[in-house]
């Protein structure tokens, strides 16, 4: 598969001003602050854009210490640092690690949810001001990159959303939004997201399957797929062997195939339903540009197996650009300095590349 999306290289921007990226810190007790520190102190990444961090001063200090770096940001309204210094916007300080190993907490959920909401608000204002000016001048942003949150922490805090995608869709008034994962080997979009497996057959409707196909095909264009006739979209079946002609369930023929036929009638190069145990290998070999998966683990297992360190989660169907690393909070290694920042770095590159393409139109 070709290099995922317009990943930017330093100095390649075709825009008249630097791209501005809002970065939400993630759960203050997870690896989010550490990987944010590792990424935003990488000179190559720092040259790509101007950055605004939404999070907690105390958590970022712990993250920077774990990453082996000093304080590389300035607070909102704080003097010094120079034009390219990231600005930290405080979203709730004072969340200290609990006794014992790091774990989900209501306090962590409140801070991480507030950081995401502030990042969304920055993106709805746009990036013309973007914190590139004087002290305290934090304006809008062109893209949002979200470090991992804990769904359990959000539940404990009563946030009201199971994850980023649902919060983004509600905050932005979007009815059609989906999780698209991009990596060197695969692009995978999900029809259902954070729901119990027993609920999946009921939630997989022809309308939702078509939405995933259509949103995914459109996103492939935004990610740089320029194939004549559009992206080649393979749709996975729900049941073993894609139902085996109805022997193992009728959803594949009754629900999924009509959605594929509707997509083809709309001019999308879609095919399926294909057996889930074979379609991802075919895509990884380059036979398809995108796989539509019916449920979370069907799509995420191959992504995390093949592209773990470089996979990026892109929320499609939004009026703003949002990317995220394709992993969780990793409480078990938080604070040890060993967390990989590869996926977070890829998420920033993808966000900047998408923003540059959008701004250059």
- Same structural domain, 223 and 170: no
- Same structural domain, 114 and 202: no
* Count of structural domains, the chain: 2
Q: What is the mean pLDDT of the chain?
A: 90
Output the pLDDT for position 256.
98
What are 23-56's pLDDT values in tens digits? 999 999 999 999 999 999 999 999 999 999 999 9
Q: Please tell me the distance from the alpha carbon of residue 150 to that of residue 344, in angstroms, as a whole number.
A: 16
CA dihedral 177, 181, 187, 188 (to 10 degrees): -60
> Within 10 Å of residue 299's Cβ, how many Cβ atoms?
26
Average pLDDT over residues 190-209: 96
Three-state DSSP class for 126? coil
The pairing of strands 290-293 and 187-190 is parallel
Q: Are 63 and 33 in contact (CB under 8 A)?
A: yes
Output the pLDDT for position 8.
47
- Same structural domain, 83 and 194: no
HEC sequence for 156-191:
HHCCCCCCHHHHHHHHCCCCCCEEEEECCCCEEEEC
- Same structural domain, 189 and 157: no
- Same structural domain, 97 and 185: no
Q: Are 104 and 152 in contact (CB under 8 A)?
A: yes
- Same structural domain, 153 and 215: no
Parent domain of 299: 178-317
Token pair of 159 as six digits = 């946030």
Output the pLDDT for position 194.
86
HSE toward the beta carbon, residue 250, CA cutoff 13 A: 1
Q: Please tell me the distance from the alpha carbon of residue 40 to that of residue 34, in angstroms, as a whole number.
A: 10
Which residue in the block uniquely carries the two structure tokens 């998420």?
347
Strand partners of residue 21: 51, 143
pLDDT band at residue 86 under the 50/70/90 scheme: very high
Strand order in the sheet with 87-90: 74-75, 87-90, 49-55, 19-24, 143-146, 322-325, 312-316, 178-182, 187-190, 290-293, 232-236, 269-274
What are 275-293's pLDDT values in tens digits? 999 999 999 999 999 999 9
Token pair of 219 as six digits = 């996103």
Global pTM? Answer: 0.86
Strands (DSSP E) found in the chain: 19-24, 49-55, 74-75, 87-90, 143-146, 178-182, 187-190, 232-236, 269-274, 290-293, 312-316, 322-325
Average pLDDT over residues 300-308: 93
Output the pLDDT for position 81.
73
Strand partners of residue 282: none
Q: Please tell me the distance from the alpha carbon of residue 217 to that of residue 317, in angstroms, as a whole number.
A: 11
Least confident interval from 25-39, 41-55, 96-110, 325-339? 96-110
- Same structural domain, 252 and 145: no
- Same structural domain, 342 and 262: no
- Same structural domain, 184 and 272: yes
For residue 80, pLDDT beyond 90: no
pLDDT band at residue 132 under the 50/70/90 scheme: very low
- Same structural domain, 167 and 182: no
pLDDT band at residue 6 under the 50/70/90 scheme: very low
Q: Please tell me the distance from the alpha carbon of residue 358 to that of residue 267, in angstroms, as a whole number.
A: 24
What are 141-187's pLDDT values in tens digits? 999 999 999 999 999 999 999 899 899 999 999 999 999 999 999 99
Q: Are 344 and 325 in contact (CB under 8 A)?
A: yes
Q: At residue 106, what are phi and psi to the nearest 5 degrees?
A: -65, -40
What is the CATH number for 228? 3.40.718.10
What are 228-238's pLDDT values in tens digits? 889 999 999 99
- Same structural domain, 168 and 292: no
pLDDT band at residue 9 under the 50/70/90 scheme: very low
- Same structural domain, 230 and 273: yes
Pick from 168, 129, 151: nearest CA to 321: 168
């Amino acid at each position: 598969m070709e290099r995922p999306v317009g990943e930017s290289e330093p100095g390649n921007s075709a825009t008249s001003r630097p791209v501005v990226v809002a970065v939400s810190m993630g759960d203050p007790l997870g690896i989010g602050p550490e990987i944010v520190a590792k990424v935003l102190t990488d000179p190559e990444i720092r040259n790509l854009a101007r950055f605004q961090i939404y999070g907690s001063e105390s958590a970022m200090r712990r993250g920077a210490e774990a990453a082996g770096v000093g304080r590389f940001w300035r607070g909102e309204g704080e003097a010094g640092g120079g034009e390219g210094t990231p600005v930290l916007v405080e979203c709730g300080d004072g969340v200290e690690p609990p006794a014992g190993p790091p774990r989900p907490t209501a306090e962590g959920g409140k801070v991480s949810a507030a950081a995401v909401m502030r990042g969304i608000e920055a993106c709805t204002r746009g990036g013309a001001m973007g914190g590139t000016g004087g002290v305290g001048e934090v304006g809008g942003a062109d893209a949002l990159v979200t470090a991992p949150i804990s769904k359990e922490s959000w539940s404990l805090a009563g946030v009201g959303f199971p994850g980023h995608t649902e919060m983004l869709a509600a905050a932005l008034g979007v009815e059609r939004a989906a999780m698209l994962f991009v990596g060197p080997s695969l692009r995978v979009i999900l029809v259902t997201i954070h729901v119990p497996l027993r609920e999946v057959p009921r939630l997989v409707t022809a309308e939702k399957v078509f939405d995933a196909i259509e949103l995914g095909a459109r996103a492939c264009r935004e990610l740089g797929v320029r194939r004549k006739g559009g992206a080649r979209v393979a749709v996975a079946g729900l049941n073993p062997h894609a139902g085996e002609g109805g022997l193992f369930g009728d959803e594949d023929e009754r629900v999924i195939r009509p959605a594929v036929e509707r997509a083809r009638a709309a001019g999308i190069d879609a095919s399926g339903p294909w057996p889930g145990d074979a379609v991802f290998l075919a895509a990884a070999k380059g036979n398809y540009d995108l796989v539509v998966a019916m449920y979370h683990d069907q799509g995420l297992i191959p992504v995390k197996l093949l592209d773990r360190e470089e996979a990026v989660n892109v929320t499609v169907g939004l009026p703003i650009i949002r990317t995220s690393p394709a992993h969780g909070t990793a409480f078990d290694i938080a604070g040890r300095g060993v967390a990989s920042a590869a996926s977070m770095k890829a998420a920033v590159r993808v966000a900047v590349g998408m923003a540059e393409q959008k701004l250059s139109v």
